Structure 1
């Protein structure tokens, strides 16, 4: 497939100078239009060694307004990155709407390197590439433009370029912290690259193969391709996208046909006060010990709390956090997104708070707002909240695959109990801050929220991230159930020795040191 990048295309110095002026003007105009239309652009730059990837990126930064462009390199991992799921580092590099991020290698760099070095098999590589395809589709459906460049040249041209670079002590290539050895096995690297490109070359995010032998031809081709991609994206008609997710069936109108999972909860369940105090003390001691065990084993934990208004989320969270050393956890209250958060994909603000290995994050409300409040209140379009189920499942799967212990709670109470708690909040001065006009307004949409919760649980209670539904009319009972669930889940998870968040390989999620190279299977 790389034959077309070895034909010897070139541009003269005069033609380059003439075309560069016009191209630069057009790119700046397109960049202003991106801001006006709030379209984020992600430019992925990859290719063979010595193809001039750094030169191209420096050229783009010269041609574009640098105030709207950020460049990210992924040739090494910080301690902070190694202690989190692999995609955490990429979410941090996502551009706000209207701006551009240029990524050296991006999410393709590590899978290519690991397959080339024999750290994973073709099947494991394909599994990671499927994840990449889903990831890119998710970003595009949220409005992003992804432009992927692969720079290639013949083996002869590569050797000549490397020889040229090695003579110049000030060349950017020679100043890199670590130079790869891909060029020493040109054919094997090309074979891996071909597999990656064929697997991930999709209509919504195609690869552009750029012949890199002539620098002037290379730079102009990249600039013109980027310009064309931006213009094409901005000229697309604003139409509602086709939704391929499952559609909820139309139910018969009888009451018995409208029963949901929440209707099956026994909200009369309660625990005697004396038993509550004894069990609470025991469970708090156990949670504290488990938190330190998880810390020592480098296992991070995410506790996620959803539920109806006044359902008892805050009370449950306080009993948990009072059990754990404050240095080990962060509690994240989730409210309406800020302007900065609105400028990114809705999952961006949750990826930011994923804990380091050994630490705990508690989310008071979460990414499920997309399929609950945003769905019911109309803040998200029909296609947006429908595709969120699969996006959330993939997000949670990535967390669990990387070693995170994920526990999800839905705390439920009856409408009568909610009304009682609302009135109590209004009458008690130190509780008044908890009640808002939105809380009263949401009561009027109780049936719509109940339907949304039922579908949410049905579509996102998976083997790797199951929901725990908590009967919450009796606060002590709900708190004990939550804490028992946490203790049981942590105890079971810490018995196993899954892939930790540190040092795992994306191709198959194995530790690098535990993987043997396949016998001749390149």
Structure 2
């Protein structure tokens, strides 16, 4: 894969001088065109052999374009805060908004390449990571992000020459680390792993561009022209109203119309005395569980979804009553803000993930993509169909990083929902809970019901199963939620 980058590509100073002025002008104009119209975000991944000119090239791009609208992030070893969350968390936080260009050094490829090169990671684990990264990049591309991946390459002799030249210059000596020479000593192994990684992750939506790093003039022009062409082609593509062709297989309802929701017996018996007795015991167990020293190395993510007036707020209050206020955060999810709409849809949830020893309670969640956005037509069928797999990936990453994910769907009957709506309108302190939107959603329930059933069927996994809660009786619903939560939390901490 790297053979063409070892041919010794060169541009003379005269050739470079003839190309450079127009290239930097075109890049700057294209950058401002992107910034003005905010058609998409561009993410540039910078990887490659040490000494191949990665830093110099990025500095040059900042010189040629407006650096105020280029977000450069350099990632080293993860911090303690980053280690307490899934590996991709720190990269999600660095994604640029639409109209911006983000340059990521030490991105999601650096760690797996280094770990495998020094035999700290098995090949099977590496390939699993690469499959996850392919799905991650496919999701970004489907959300409109332009991914441009550069690998800066040098032969082993070229790397040695470059490192020695940097060390010999007092002004650049600081740039050569002991780790650079260590990688040089393992060059053949590093190259072998890198070739495998690039071959497995060079896809139609995000191909790798191999850059010969031996000649600075050639390197600069190659990167500049590639970036310019990719940006201009995407801008033209978007302006003409084209979109990547996506199709989705239809979801077919059961012939007998029986489903997960209409099969529930929603009015379950429980009186107030029994409720209060069980509530106190379950809250006590919950309090002890989150104080357990084992929980200090875990986190808890609670998801509450359900019909309007099904009792999500009341259930959440019974959970938080058992927790230290410094330990949890309730996150109500409404329509995305302008800032959130400028990012892939999962971005606003990634940035709210709890660190170890903490609890995040989502009052509605990332499932809006397959519920309200599906029903209201806020996204295409292809978008919400691919979201099932993307959500499962997201939750798998949470669990792999030590999070305990517990999800509840609360259901009430049509008659009980109507009774609660009317009660809210009649009681002054509850009027804020009822809006014209609630009444409109009630009329659309025939559209929501199959969406909910599809959601549960396709995203109830061994790592993050759904619990369906019969919520006509609020006492029963609250006790069931607490019992399921405590049982799952205690079991996870035990194992």
Instruction: Please tell me whether the aligned partners of residues 391 and 459 of structure 2 are also in contact (alpha carbons under 8 angstroms).
Output: yes
Match in the other structure for 2:436: 437
Match in the other structure for 2:229: 228
Match of 2:252 among 249, 254, 257: 249
3-state DSSP of counterpart to 2:262: helix
Q: Deviations over 1:78-98 (max 9, x none)?
A: 221111111100100111011
CA distance in 2, matches of 1:426, 1:63: 61
Instruction: Please tell me whether the aligned partners of residues 260 and 450 of structure 1 are also in contact (alpha carbons under 8 angstroms).
Output: no
CA distance in 1, matches of 2:60, 2:23: 12
Match in the other structure for 1:317: 316
Distance 1:32 1:216, change over 3 A: same
Instruction: Please tell me whether the aligned partners of residues 294 and 494 of structure 1 are also in contact (alpha carbons under 8 angstroms).
Output: no
CA distance in 1, matches of 2:327, 2:301: 12
Greater RCO between the two (CA within 8 Å, min separation 6)?
1
1:388 paired to 2:391: no
Instruction: Please tell me whether the aligned partners of residues 41 and 144 of structure 1 are also in contact (alpha carbons under 8 angstroms).
Output: yes
Structure 1 residue 167: deviation in Å? 1.7
Match in the other structure for 2:159: 158
Structure 1 residue 242: deviation in Å? 3.6
Match in the other structure for 1:500: none
Match in the other structure for 2:133: 132
- Which sections of structure 2, spanning at least 5 residues, go unmatched? none
What is the TM-score normalised by the length of structure 1?
0.92
What is the TM-score normalised by the length of structure 2?
0.97
Instruction: Please tell me whether the aligned partners of residues 9 and 214 of structure 1 are also in contact (alpha carbons under 8 angstroms).
Output: yes
Give the aligned length: 492
Structure 1 residue 168: deviation in Å? 2.4
Q: Deviations over 1:140-179 (max 9, x none)?
A: 0010100000001111111110001112233275276965
Match in the other structure for 1:402: 401
Q: Deviations over 1:225-254 (max 9, x none)?
A: 0111111212225345443544202665xx
Distance 1:73 1:180, change over 3 A: farther
Distance 1:294 1:466, change over 3 A: farther
CA distance in 2, matches of 1:442, 1:241: 32
1:97 paired to 2:98: yes
Match in the other structure for 1:191: 192
- Which sections of structure 1, spanning at least 5 residues, go unmatched? 497-522
Distance 1:270 1:109, change over 3 A: same
Match in the other structure for 1:372: 371
Structure 1 residue 451: deviation in Å? 0.9
Match in the other structure for 1:358: 357
Q: Deviations over 1:263-288 (max 9, x none)?
A: 11111202121110011011111111
Match in the other structure for 1:28: 28
| Greater mean alpha carbon deviation, residues 132-141 or residues 286-295 | 286-295
Match in the other structure for 1:458: 457
Instruction: Please tell me whether the aligned partners of residues 285 and 323 of structure 1 are also in contact (alpha carbons under 8 angstroms).
Output: yes
Structure 1 residue 18: deviation in Å? 2.3
Structure 1 residue 431: deviation in Å? 0.9
Distance 1:234 1:287, change over 3 A: same
